C-alpha cells in the first residue's frame, strides 16, 4: 500500500481502561477509543488516542465513526493482531469494487480460518450478514455518514442487550441500500471461539438474541427466534422449550418497550 493509500485508511481500536495500549498502536493507521474513569498515563504517548467515560462497544464504534478523518475505517478490538498483507489490500478492495462496506476473514494463531468462509468474493444478502464478526468489517466513511447509519447503543458488550450490534449495523446498512461485499482476504488473527459455549447457561445472552431479532425483523422476529432456538438449544444446556421461552421473552420485551422505534446513539 502506498503512503497516499495508507493515509486514506484507519483502524478503530476499542479498548477499556487502557487495556492493550501497546507499541503497535503508536502510529497511523490506528485510532484508539478508550473507555474508563480516567485516561492511563501511557495515553500521552499515542498520537490518535480518544478517551471517553461512556461505556459500551457500540458507543466506542460510533465515536470512531464520528472522529474518523480518513476515507475508510476498519473496526477492531484490543486483543487482535492484524495481518500486514491483508491490511494492505483493504483500500485496494474498496477502490476496485466501489463497495460501501467490505467484510473480510479472520485467521486463528495456528494459521487456519477462524470459521468457514467462501473462497470467492460475493455481494452480501441479509442472510449472509448474520455470519459476520465485528472485526471483519470495514466501511467507506462518507457512505455511512450520508446514510445516517450508527451502531445501536442498546446492543453490544456493555449495553442492555450484550450482543448483535454488528449484525444490526449491517442489516441497517443493507436496508439503506449500501453496497456490502465480502473479499476472501485474511486481515486479522484471533483465537477460535465457540459460540455454543457462550450460550451455555447464559439466559441473558439468549434473551439478548431475541431482542436482536426483534430489532431487525419486528413482529416477524418470532419465526427467526424459533429457527435459532432449533439450531442452538443443544449447546445451551437448556431444553428446546426452555430456550424458546427465553429467546421469545427477550424478543417480546424489546418489541413492547417504548424504545422499540428508532436507533439509539
pLDDT tens digits, one per residue of 92-111? 999 999 999 999 999 999 99
pTM assigned to the model:
0.92
pLDDT digits (tens, 9 = 90+) for 191-215: 887 544 589 889 999 999 999 999 9
**What pLDDT is stored for residue 53 in this prediction?**
84
Q: Are strands 49-52 and 72-77 parallel, antiparallel or unpaired?
A: unpaired
Q: Which residue has the higher pLDDT, 196 or 19?
A: 19
pLDDT value of residue 262:
57
More confidently predicted of 40 and 130: 130
- In the chain the domains, ranked by start, together with CATH numbers, are 3-189 (3.90.550.10), 195-256 (no CATH)
Question: Which residue matches cell numbers 473462497?
Answer: 119
> So what's the pLDDT on residue 44?
73
DSSP string, 52-105: ES---HHHHHHHHHHH--SSEEEEEETT-EE-HHHHHHHHHHHHHH--SEEEEE
> Distance (Å, rounded) from C-alpha 5 to C-alpha 64?
19
User: For 228-241, what is each residue's pLDDT tens digit?
Assistant: 999 999 999 999 99
Among 39, 69, 68, which residue's Cα sits nearest to residue 51?
Answer: 39
H or E stretch at 200: none
Cis peptide leading into residue 29 (ω within 30°): yes
Amino acid at each position: 500500500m502506498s503512503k497516499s493509500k495508507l493515509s486514506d485508511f484507519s483502524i478503530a481500536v476499542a479498548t477499556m481502561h487502557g487495556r492493550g495500549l501497546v507499541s503497535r498502536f503508536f502510529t497511523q493507521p490506528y485510532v484508539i477509543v478508550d473507555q474508563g474513569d480516567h485516561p492511563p498515563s501511557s495515553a500521552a504517548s499515542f498520537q490518535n488516542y480518544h478517551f471517553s467515560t461512556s461505556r459500551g462497544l457500540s458507543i466506542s464504534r460510533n465515536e470512531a465513526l464520528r472522529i474518523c478523518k480518513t476515507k475508510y475505517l476498519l473496526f477492531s478490538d484490543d486483543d487482535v493482531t492484524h495481518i500486514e498483507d491483508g491490511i494492505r489490500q483493504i483500500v485496494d478492495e474498496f477502490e476496485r469494487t466501489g463497495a460501501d462496506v467490505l467484510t473480510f476473514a479472520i485467521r486463528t494463531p495456528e494459521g487456519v480460518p477462524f470459521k468457514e468462509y467462501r473462497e470467492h468474493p460475493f455481494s452480501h444478502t441479509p442472510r449472509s450478514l448474520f455470519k459476520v464478526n465485528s472485526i471483519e468489517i470495514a466501511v467507506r466513511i462518507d457512505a455511512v455518514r450520508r446514510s445516517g447509519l450508527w451502531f445501536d447503543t442498546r446492543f453490544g458488550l456493555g449495553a442492555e442487550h450484550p450482543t448483535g450490534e454488528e449484525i444490526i449495523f449491517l442489516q441497517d446498512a443493507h436496508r439503506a441500500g449500501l453496497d456490502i461485499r465480502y473479499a476472501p482476504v485474511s486481515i486479522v488473527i484471533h483465537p477460535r471461539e465457540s459460540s455454543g459455549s457462550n450460550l451455555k447457561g447464559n439466559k441473558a445472552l439468549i434473551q439478548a438474541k431475541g431482542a436482536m431479532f426483534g430489532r431487525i425483523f419486528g413482529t416477524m422476529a418470532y419465526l427467526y427466534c424459533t429457527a435459532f432456538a432449533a439450531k442452538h438449544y443443544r449447546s445451551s444446556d437448556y431444553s428446546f422449550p426452555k430456550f424458546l421461552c427465553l429467546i421469545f421473552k427477550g424478543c417480546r420485551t424489546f418489541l413492547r418497550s417504548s424504545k422499540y422505534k428508532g436507533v439509539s446513539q
